[in-house]
């Protein structure tokens, strides 16, 4: 490394920790002459930093030319000659993550502070690499875009941005980086003691209920910011269809539990599900339908509790993981379209497949059988097992493998010679 660059790093190091800051005491003491902590560095690195230093928000140590606060001028085991591991160098001064955090922001662990902040200078407040919600949209694009496009928007997002409800570093009080837990977070702005509040909620005592069960805090196209997909009784304000009357002793209690409650309206569908030989296990359990569906509303179709890949993946995480590590991605799994092949409620076939014959099931998307393909079908016995016929799944595993083309063997020849043993070498 040229000496000039080294010296600049020295200068930067000095600039990143302000004198007297908590971390200053632990910063290395290089017995530099007065002004040499940063000014000396700029002799070499000044040109490189010239444009940066013109930006409106300059990191205090940079401004005060204390480069050695973050950088070691001689040698370092860390990238960019930092005096410490990236995040630890920042945490010397910026103690922003609560000690007993209930939720922490992933980028802090994965990308470090520089995922969101420029350690030298920036055009945006707090040295952020992008301004306002645009920074959040770098990762949470769908959420930010939906919030901006929503017909009924949540004002705090427009006025103060995502940080009006979320702490971008971590929260000791709430999940999802929320500055406090729902409903306390909501009732900080929304008064629940007004008559209109009771009227809007049909007299149900929802002040202590989970607001986000019905309302989308990021805005929606439904009046009252109800989720875009609303359970019809909620949309019609007919809470008492499922809950005890508002005037009863325990008004939030449901009139029945599990499928018994849902059966009131969905009896025919439930009967159809239960008629089949194999019923998806959650349907049999206490929570039943509510294992996968929200009772009030959802951002996702079918009142699912989240995107399908997240809902299915909450139990079938190994399947999702297998797809993630597979070099070849099967589109329905990649896109979370699990229902392309599986019936989420019940089926006559193992694995809740919608069709047990994989050639027919796969043939819905893959038309190879109509032109060129390895012979397949009910009349072709699998040489490895006389109770199996040659199907797509004879050679492929639909959720992926560690090998290309969803095959369970490292090489094609290894796969083929499972049956065509005469060619085995």
Partner 1 sequence: MSGRTALRTIALLLPLAAAGAEPLSFYYVTTIYRDAKDVALRSPEGVACTSTSLVVADTGNRRLLTFALTESGAITQTGEAKLAELTSPVRLQLDSKGHLLALDGKSHRIVRVDASGGFGGFLEMKGAAHAPVLVGFKLDAADNVYALDVGSERVLVADPGGNVSRTLELPRGPMMSDIAVDSGGTVYAVDGVGATVWSAAKGATRFTQIGKSLKDSMSFPSYALAYQGKLVLVDQHGMGLALLGLDGSYLGRQLAIGWSDGSVYYPAQLCINERGGAFIADRDNNRVQQFTTAR
Interacting residues with partner 1 (CB under 8 A): 258, 276-278, 281-282, 284-286, 315, 317-319, 349-351, 382, 384-388, 394, 408, 418
Q: Minimal distance in Å, beta carbon 274 to partner 1?
A: 8
Minimum gap (Å) between residue 388 Cβ and partner 1: 6
Question: Please, are residues 56 and 123 in contact by the beta-carbon 8 Å criterion?
Answer: yes
Among residues 109 and 285, whose Cβ is nearest to partner 1? 285
Cβ closest to partner 1, residue 87 vs residue 319: 319
Which of 245, 242, 205, 202 has its CA nearest to residue 224?
202
Q: 369 exposed, middle or buried (CB, 10 Å; 0-12, 13-18, 19+)?
A: middle
Task: Closer to partner 1 by CB, 107 or 258: give it.
Answer: 258
**Phi, psi for residue 253 in degrees, rounded to 5:** -70, 140
Nearest residue (CB) to partner 1, 75 versus 277: 277
CB of 326 to partner 1, least distance (A): 15
Q: How far is the CB of 334 from partner 1 (least distance, A)?
A: 19
> Cβ closer to partner 1: 131 or 383?
383
Give helix then strand counts, H and E, for the chain: 18, 10
407 CB contacts (<8 Å, ≥6 apart)? 395, 396, 397, 401, 415
Long-range contacts of the stretch 262-269 (C-beta < 8 A, 24+):
262/288, 262/289, 265/241
Query: Minimum CB separation from partner 1 for residue 385, in Å?
Result: 5
For partner 1, which is the closer residue by CB, 221 or 348?
348
DSSP secondary structure string for all residues of 105-174:
-HHHHHT-GGGTB-SSEESSGGGBSS-HHHHHHTT-HHHHHHHHH-SB--HHHHHT-GGGTB-SSEESS-
Supply the minimum distance, in Å, between the C-beta of residue 170 and partner 1: 25
Parallel/antiparallel/unpaired status of strands 170-171 and 103-104: antiparallel
Percentage helix, strand, coil, to 5, in the chain? 45, 10, 45
Toward partner 1, which CB reaches closer, 234 or 352? 352
The least CB distance from residue 49 to partner 1, in Å, is 47
Distance, in Å, from the CA atom of 335 to the CA atom of 253, rounded to the nearest integer, reads 37
């Amino acid at each position: 490394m040229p000496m000039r660059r080294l010296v600049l790093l020295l200068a930067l190091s000095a600039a990143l920790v302000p004198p007297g800051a908590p971390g200053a005491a632990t910063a290395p003491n290089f017995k530099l002459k007065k002004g040499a902590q940063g000014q000396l560095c700029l002799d070499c690195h000044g040109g490189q930093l010239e444009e940066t230093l013109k930006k409106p928000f300059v990191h205090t140590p940079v401004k005060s030319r204390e480069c050695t606060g973050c950088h070691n001028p001689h040698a370092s085991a860390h990238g960019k000659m930092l005096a410490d591991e990236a995040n630890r160098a920042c945490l010397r001064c910026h103690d922003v993550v609560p000690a007993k955090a209930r939720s922490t922001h992933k980028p802090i662990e994965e990308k470090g502070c520089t995922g969101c902040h420029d350690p030298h200078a920036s055009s945006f407040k707090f040295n952020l690499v992008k301004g306002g919600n645009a920074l959040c949209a770098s990762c949470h694009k769908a959420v930010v875009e939906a919030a901006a496009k929503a017909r009924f928007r949540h004002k705090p997002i427009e006025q103060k941005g995502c940080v009006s409800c979320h702490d971008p570093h971590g929260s000791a009080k709430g999940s999802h980086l929320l500055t406090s837990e729902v409903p306390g977070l909501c009732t900080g702005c929304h008064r629940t003691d007004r008559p209109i509040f009771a009227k809007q909620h049909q007299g149900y005592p929802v002040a202590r209920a989970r607001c986000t069960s019905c309302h989308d805090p990021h805005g929606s196209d439904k009046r009252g910011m109800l989720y875009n997909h609303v359970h019809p009784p909620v949309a019609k304000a007919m809470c008492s269809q499922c809950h005890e009357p508002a005037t009863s002793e325990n008004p939030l209690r449901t009139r029945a539990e599990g499928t018994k409650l849902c059966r009131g309206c969905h009896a025919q569908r439930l009967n159809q599900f239960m008629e089949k030989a194999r019923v998806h296990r959650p349907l049999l359990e206490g929570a039943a339908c509510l294992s996968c569906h929200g009772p009030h509303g959802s951002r996702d179709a079918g009142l699912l509790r989240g995107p399908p890949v997240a809902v299915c993946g909450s139990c079938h995480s190994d399947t999702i993981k297998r797809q993630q590590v597979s070099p070849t991605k099967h589109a329905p799994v990649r896109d979370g379209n699990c229902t392309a092949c599986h019936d989420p409620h019940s089926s006559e076939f193992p694995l809740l497949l919608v069709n047990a014959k994989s050639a027919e099931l796969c043939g819905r998307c893959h038309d190879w059988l109509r032109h060129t393909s390895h012979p397949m079908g009910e009349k072709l016995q699998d040489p490895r097992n006389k109770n199996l016929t040659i199907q797509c799944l004879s050679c492929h595993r639909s959720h992926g493998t560690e090998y290309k083309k969803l095959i369970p063997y490292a090489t094609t020849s290894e796969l083929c010679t499972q049956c065509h043993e005469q060619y085995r070498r």
